[in-house]
Structure 1
Amino acid sequence: MDERCLMNIRVVIFINAELAKYKDLVAFLGEVLGDDTEIILHDVTDLENSVVAISETNLSGRDIGSPVTNLILKMLKEGKSRNKSFITNYEGIAKDGTVLRSSTFFIRNDKNEIIGMLCINIDYRKMEKVIDYLSKFVGVKKPELKKIEEPVEHLSPSIEDLAKSSIKEIVGGVNIPPERMSQEERLEIIEKLNENGIFLLKGIVSIVAEELCTSEASIYRYLSKVKKVRGSV
């Protein structure tokens, strides 16, 4: 039995019972919306293996068992999705750099807690060419992407890729290589990563430590300082 078959069995065995009914919806929407659309079902009670169903059209390079995205982590950390049912038309970036138009529907339990997310990612490149052509004749306009605070959503296939993309985005703003950072600069990076919810993932500390050229013990010390500062505010 190949690896993909094993992954599909994992969905049947481990998918949250409250999310199971959405699995067929993933396949249905995938067929209806076609080859330029990817449908993903996330179980946010298992952040490290969040993807529990995916349409046959795979635009982001993820698979069953891939983790949540950086944007999902940030929303869960900040609680910004508390009073929302969905968010639409924001920017998602696949591992190969393809920019997708993404939308997310929040799935809640009877306690109004978010337990899952149904995500639609669309490759609009073909459509944009058609719209650009039509706009010359009938004034058709492209739907605009919603302005969402940075970072944009990185559709990472693994926890390691998720950590690397999150760190790269923050370190890029500092413009200092990790191996040359001072303790204060590393502390600033850790604080931003914490705000973005990256430390909600199990096993992430070792990956962050490697990327920032420091030890796991140092990362825990930085996190402790961040929590003390927040606690004193």
Structure 2
Amino acid sequence: MTADAVLHALRPVLDGLAATFGPHCEVVLHDYRNRDASVVAVAGKVTQRAVGGAMSEIGLGLLARGKDAEDQLNYVTRTASGRLVKSSTMLLRDEDGEVFGALCVNVDITELRHTAVLLGELSALDAIPDDTTTFTNDVTELVRAVVQAEELKLGRPVDRLSRAERLDLFRALDERGVFGLQKAVPEVAAALGISRASAYSYLTEIRKSGEN
């Protein structure tokens, strides 16, 4: 089957899965061939995704790994609004093994986690993660969220980073697949408060060094 045929065949599955797990479940179908608007179908409203929405950081990272990418099952994170979500991302591949999309299931377990305090291991979670994943329909918000996350790891504002540290930041963003998005470089430049020319220069330099 072609990629388009697979996506078409999966669309009816979304409503069935969401209905099976109830109002706390959301199922999202992604077409990664259009990274800036990869969401092609949604059932449920856990993360408020909408058709035409952008990829998440998780999707960007998986796509950046190419054929080495693996399904991500039963990972837990927080949404920007603080809801605790248990998710699985199942990759869709073409006949050559290239990833072209994903079927994602998100289950809001916030209340379940609260209940687990009284019911022991019902939620099967030993700890609540500190990581926050940005679920958004806007590419600008996605890029800036990833930039901020990497900036926090460095421990100080980007305007105080050395040139070497800025290159490390661009290398981290590239590894997370950010620059696979259309107009990502201008968005990153705006988020960092640098010129577009500087941003393109940093990107060119880290990619050249990676080839050596």
TM-score of the two chains, using structure 1 as the length reference = 0.81
CA distance in 2, matches of 1:31, 1:81: 33
1:144 is matched with 125
- 1:145 and 1:65, CA in 2 relative to 1: closer, same or farther beyond 3 A? farther
Once structures 1 and 2 are overlaid, which stretch shifts more, 34-43 or 155-164? 155-164
- The secondary structure found in structure 1 opposite 2:41 is strand
Task: State the secondary structure of the residue aligned to 2:82.
Answer: coil
Tell me which residue corresponds to 2:48. Answer: 61
Correspondent of 2:24 among 36, 56, 59:
36
Residues 72 and 89 of structure 2 are in contact (CA less than 8 Å); yes or no, is this contact kept in structure 1? yes
Partner of 1:176: 156
Whether 2:56 is the aligned partner of 1:76: answer no
The yes-or-no answer on 1:106 pairing with 2:87 is no
Q: Distance in 1 between matches of 2:6 and 2:140?
A: 29
1:191 & 1:16 partners in 2: Cα distance?
33
Say yes or no: does 1:22 pair with 2:10. Answer: yes
Matches within 5 A, 1:40-55: 40-55=28-43
Q: Does 2:75 align with 1:94?
A: no
Mapped contact 2:38–2:53 kept (Cα < 8 A): yes
Which sections of structure 2, spanning at least 5 residues, go unmatched? none
Please state how far the C-alpha of 1:172 moved relative to its aligned partner: 0.6
Gapped runs of 5+ residues in structure 1? 1-14
Amino acid of the residue matched to residue 66 of structure 2? G
Contact 1:101–1:124 under 8 Å retained in 2: yes
The answer for the alignment partner of 1:155 in structure 2 is 135
> Percent same amino acid at aligned positions?
26
Who wins on radius of gyration, i.e. which is larger?
A: 1
Contact 1:101/1:145 (8 A) holds in 2: no
Maintained 8 Å contact 1:106/1:117: yes
RMSD of aligned Cα (Å): 2.4
Mapped partners of 1:52, 1:129: distance in 2: 33
Question: Structure 1 87/130 Cα, relative in aligned 2: closer, same or farther at 3 Å?
Answer: same
- 8 Å contact from structure 2 (residues 66, 99) kept in 1: no
Letter in 1 for 2:13: L
Q: Hey, what's the Cα distance between the residues in 2 that align with 1:109 and 1:173? A: 35
Aligned 8 A contact 1:50 1:65 in 2:
yes
Q: Describe the superposition over 1:181-226 as per-residue Cα deviations: whole angstroms up to 9, x where unpaired.
A: 3333222211110111100111111110011110111111001110
Aligned to 1:89, the other structure's residue is in SS state strand
Q: Aligned letter for 1:116?
A: G
Q: How many residue pairs end up in the alignment?
A: 209
What TM-score do you get using the length of structure 2 for normalisation?
0.88
